[in-house]
A and B are shown apart, each in its own frame.
Chain A
């Protein structure tokens, strides 16, 4: 089974800051990590390989330093890594990102299943997975929390909903997006870490793929961001100082007042 996992490198913070001038994410000085949901996507890819055989290829679109995230994926079991990177891709919105990743996956070829995270912790739109599926004209199952079985060109999986879960059968190949409930990601292995040090990372540029240039980067991105702002932070909490008993009394009476409204 040929498994492709799409993963994104994101800033290591849940408090993403926005530059008020440019309306873009401030990335300086923030460490990068693999998007938390994608860690589960990688793990599920590796588990599928362990269950059904095959290879796991991790793919990311991003700047050259996204290579680090790909190497990290190799430490936990990915076999191959593809870095989709080109100046022409800069400024891509979700539509363009989905298109570019779809074309990269087409180039990889003969893929049986594409696994994405449910959403990215920075962009947060949850649109890229479905976007890729649409571009490739593949069935998609979102919010998957369990892959029951894959056989005879079909897959049966559980899809988490607010009320419970749905059991879905789909034809293969297909694209899925996964939620954190699907597995418990493993820690890196020593062999994986050693392999990651020297593993070749395949680079894919616009000219390596069969793409329509008008659909890349800023030109290919109809999303128009009028304003991004940080909502006002919550007012600071109140700190009582003094003897423990007196503070406790004060705390209880303050809480009571709040409850009365």
Chain B
């Protein structure tokens, strides 16, 4: 790996997460891929090792790190299993809105338990008819006295059902379109808040993906995040910070597949030689490694820009997610190619990396949506000149 001049603490985090991955994630990744159960035992290890609160402020029980620390941990875990890593990374997605927009009471109430790993979190905006176009959302929230009443549903929600803390976007004023959405903090067990079916997926099968169903669900007024009408701003600002995490997941998955491919290519013999002695294979490995390193450099660069306190980084956030996820799909597909027929067989590790990589091009905005974000930003910048 290129020397990214990590601080001593960041190296410590990387080494610890690597140890967790090698000792606790790799041995169980095939099992959870098969069973689709939630990897609670691994989450417990992450909690005991103080990893769950890595990016949360110290005053709320976290370790006080930033997006860079989140990225380092997510990448390491994803080398072992992109699905298990998501229990951690999607919790960050559900926690960032509270960190960014929560008031003091909300932060005090919700962050410490997430930092300690006692609870995990989730974020819900997607609905069956509102995917890339989130403004088509149907879920409503109506203020009645001291609480809002939510009706509707969300689907494809990561950690859904397993998380205790949810940030959910709902329409408080449909007439205002995108400006009529608001963000709420929900807790598992609130009356009228239930879970629908758990999806059976292609990849990241250790991660749970469920429907959230709201039937006259009463949410106390004080659980409104920011102000009414801020729902989409909360979402966009959250995605700006969380997308490097998906980039890191993609980098980790790709690196995991490359490591496996290098090892295999040295052991597999055809035509009386190890296949790693063929230039055709070496060129593939060289391309894979170069593509991974470029994506990693971009992801780390954006994470550091965010942590430095920069204001406007949506474009770069979208770029690093786009670049890393496209790279991961290509690299993991090539890893399967290097394994030949064995790569297609579940007994070998690379087909899982390929299945896991696909989602990184889809959630938190598809690759096409990232390009929209980048393209619009470019045009906006040109107009300003």
Mark A residues whose CB is within 8 Å of B.
Answer: 186-191, 193-194
- Interface range on chain B: under 10, 10 to 19, 20 to 34, or 35 or more? 10 to 19
Q: Does B50 make an interface contact (CB < 8 A)?
A: yes
Supply 18 further A-B pairs (C-beta < 8 A) apart from A187-B23, A188-B49.
Answer: A186-B45, A186-B49, A187-B16, A187-B19, A187-B24, A187-B45, A187-B49, A188-B19, A189-B48, A190-B13, A190-B16, A190-B50, A190-B54, A190-B63, A191-B50, A193-B12, A193-B16, A194-B12
Residues of B within 8 A of A187 (CB): 16, 19-20, 23-24, 45, 48-49
Task: Give 8 closest A-B pairs by Cβ, nearest first.
Answer: A190-B50, A189-B50, A189-B49, A191-B50, A193-B12, A187-B49, A186-B48, A187-B19
Residue of A nearest to B51 (CB): A190
Residues of A within 8 A of B20 (CB): 187
Residues of B within 8 A of A190 (CB): 12-13, 16, 49-51, 54, 63
Q: Does B9 make an interface contact (CB < 8 A)?
A: yes
CB distance from A76 to the nearest CB of B (A): 10
* Contact indicator per residue, chain B 45-88, by CB within 8 Å of chain A (1) or not (0): 10011110010000000010000000000000000000000000
CB distance from B16 to the nearest CB of A (A): 6
CB distance from A75 to the nearest CB of B (A): 9
CB distance from B27 to the nearest CB of A (A): 13
Give the docked Cα–Cα distance between A121 and B49 (Å).
27
Residues of A within 8 A of B63 (CB): 190-191
- B-side binding surface: helix, strand, loop or mixed? helix
Give the docked Cα–Cα distance between A190 and B65 (Å).
12
Residues of B within 8 A of A193 (CB): 12, 16
List 25 A–B pairs whose Cβ atoms lie within 8 Å, in order of A's numbering. Answer: A186-B45, A186-B48, A186-B49, A187-B16, A187-B19, A187-B23, A187-B24, A187-B45, A187-B48, A188-B16, A188-B19, A188-B49, A189-B49, A189-B50, A190-B13, A190-B16, A190-B49, A190-B50, A190-B51, A190-B63, A191-B50, A193-B12, A193-B16, A194-B9, A194-B12
Within 8 A of A (CB), among B339-379: none
Give the docked Cα–Cα distance between A188 and B9 (Å).
14
Give the docked Cα–Cα distance between A194 and B11 (Å).
12
Give the docked Cα–Cα distance between A121 and B12 (Å).
28
Residues of B within 8 A of A191 (CB): 50, 63
CB distance from B76 to the nearest CB of A (A): 13
CB distance from B61 to the nearest CB of A (A): 11
CB distance from A243 to the nearest CB of B (A): 13
Residues of B within 8 A of A188 (CB): 16, 19, 49
Residues of A within 8 A of B50 (CB): 189-191
Residue of A nearest to B49 (CB): A189
Give the docked Cα–Cα distance between A187 and B13 (Å).
13
CB distance from A150 to the nearest CB of B (A): 23
CB distance from A101 to the nearest CB of B (A): 30
Give the docked Cα–Cα distance between A188 and B13 (Å).
11
Residues of A within 8 A of B12 (CB): 190, 193-194
Residue of A nearest to B73 (CB): A190
Give the docked Cα–Cα distance between A191 and B49 (Å).
8
Give the docked Cα–Cα distance between A191 and B52 (Å).
12
Give the docked Cα–Cα distance between A23 and B146 (Å).
82
CB distance from B177 to the nearest CB of A (A): 44
Give the docked Cα–Cα distance between A188 and B20 (Å).
9
Residues of A within 8 A of B9 (CB): 194
Give the docked Cα–Cα distance between A235 and B104 (Å).
71
* Contact indicator per residue, chain B 8-29, by CB within 8 Å of chain A (1) or not (0): 0100110010011001100000
Give the docked Cα–Cα distance between A188 and B16 (Å).
7
Residues of B within 8 A of A189 (CB): 48-50
Give the docked Cα–Cα distance between A194 and B9 (Å).
8
CB distance from A55 to the nearest CB of B (A): 19
Give the docked Cα–Cα distance between A189 and B50 (Å).
6
Residue of B nearest to A77 (CB): B48
Residues of A within 8 A of B48 (CB): 186-187, 189
Residues of A within 8 A of B54 (CB): 190
